């Protein structure tokens, strides 16, 4: 009798332990499979670089020199604003002035400050950049625009390329942002001067520059462009376009050099 009771007790104990072992084995197998599947998904779906990573890569890959025309009376106001906002993202930032300032990076090109001397000042600035930095940078950005300089460069073979985005929206806004708004009350003179037919939008979401920025607006643009993120608004992942080879770039420049204006105002058209 005692032997039967002992056998029954041992059978119950062994059965319970086998059940626990079986459940543990199933749980471990499930966790292992889930981990393996997660690792497989991570390997099968490579993570795209973030915009911050693309920006850091682009900063090291494409060298940009920014050249800003200024004057001594603006050294402690506008120059400092530029230097501490968008200017710090240039690979090299220099200010062309009539008074040298080592702290700010201002260079005296020896031209007196006068609106009648803008052409000579710009010419001296280009000479300085060419002699000192021509082989060190890939792109040279002039912060503002002078029409007479554009025609002079065109006469020596410099091509004005299409800087719009893929939807035809401007990246370089020639006026202040509010004036470029579609419904802003203003006359139509700016649209008469554009090479391409204007689109009814403020500008590109990948905009590069804005004109007529006041002193207090530099920090405002810095905040809106680089810090403000609206909760719930999806941000699409961007990618950089492929880098053109020398032959491809030459073909693109040749195409731009022969392109006619699409602006409906007839005096802009060359055909």
How far apart, in whole angstroms, are the C-alpha atoms of residue 34 and residue 27?
11
The predicted-structure confidence for 90-125, as pLDDT tens digits, reads as follows 999 999 999 999 988 899 999 998 888 888 998 899
Shared-domain flag, residues 141 and 70: yes
pLDDT tier at 130, thresholds 50, 70, 90 = very high
CA 69 to each of CA 87, 105, 115, 172, 232: distance values in angstroms, whole numbers, following the listed order: 13, 12, 12, 17, 40
Number of domains, the chain: 2
The label of the residue with tokens 């060298």 reads 63
Alpha helices in the chain (DSSP H): 2-44, 51-61, 80-84, 118-133, 147-155, 189-192, 217-226, 246-257
End position of a domain, from candidates 156, 171, 192? 156
* Torsion sign (Cα): 262, 251, 148, 67: positive
Contact 55, 206 (CB under 8 A): no
The predicted-structure confidence for 20-37, as pLDDT tens digits, reads as follows 555 544 544 444 444 444
Shared-domain flag, residues 112 and 176: no
Evaluate whether residue 103 is within a structural domain: yes
End position of a domain, from candidates 120, 137, 156? 156
Task: Give pTM, 2 decimals.
Answer: 0.60
Evaluate whether residue 65 is within a structural domain: yes
Shared-domain flag, residues 61 and 147: yes
Averaged pLDDT, 182-188 = 66
Q: What is the structure's pLDDT at 100?
A: 93
Evaluate whether residue 1 is within a structural domain: no
Q: Alpha-carbon Rg of the chain, whole angstroms?
A: 31
* Torsion sign (Cα): 208, 211, 215, 217: negative
The label of the residue with tokens 């400050």 reads 113
Shared-domain flag, residues 197 and 230: yes
SS3 202: coil
């Amino acid at each position: 009798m005692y032997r039967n009771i002992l056998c029954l007790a041992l059978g119950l104990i062994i059965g319970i332990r086998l059940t626990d072992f079986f459940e543990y084995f199933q749980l471990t197998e499930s966790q292992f499979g889930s981990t393996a599947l997660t690792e497989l998904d991570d390997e099968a779906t490579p993570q795209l670089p973030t915009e911050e990573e693309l920006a850091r890569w682009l900063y090291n890959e494409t060298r940009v020199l920014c050249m800003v025309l200024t004057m001594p009376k603006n050294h402690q106001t506008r120059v400092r604003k530029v230097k501490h906002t968008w200017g710090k993202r240039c690979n090299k930032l220099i200010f062309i002035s009539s008074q040298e300032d080592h702290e700010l990076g201002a260079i005296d090109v020896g031209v007196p400050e006068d609106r009648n001397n803008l052409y000579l000042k710009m010419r001296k600035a280009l000479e300085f950049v060419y002699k000192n930095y021509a082989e060190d940078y890939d792109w040279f950005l002039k912060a503002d625009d002078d029409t007479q300089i554009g025609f002079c460069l065109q006469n020596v073979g410099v091509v004005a390329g299409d800087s719009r985005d893929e939807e035809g929206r401007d990246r370089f806004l020639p006026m202040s942002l509010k004036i470029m708004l579609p419904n802003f009350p203003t006359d139509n003179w700016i649209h008469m001067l554009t090479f391409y037919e204007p689109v009814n939008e403020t500008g590109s979401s990948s905009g590069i520059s804005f004109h007529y920025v006041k002193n207090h607006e530099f920090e405002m643009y810095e905040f809106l462009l680089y810090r403000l993120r609206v909760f719930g608004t999806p941000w699409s992942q961007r990618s950089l376009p492929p880098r053109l080879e020398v032959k491809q770039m030459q073909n693109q420049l040749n195409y731009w050099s022969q392109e006619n204006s699409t602006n409906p105002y007839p005096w802009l058209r060359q055909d």
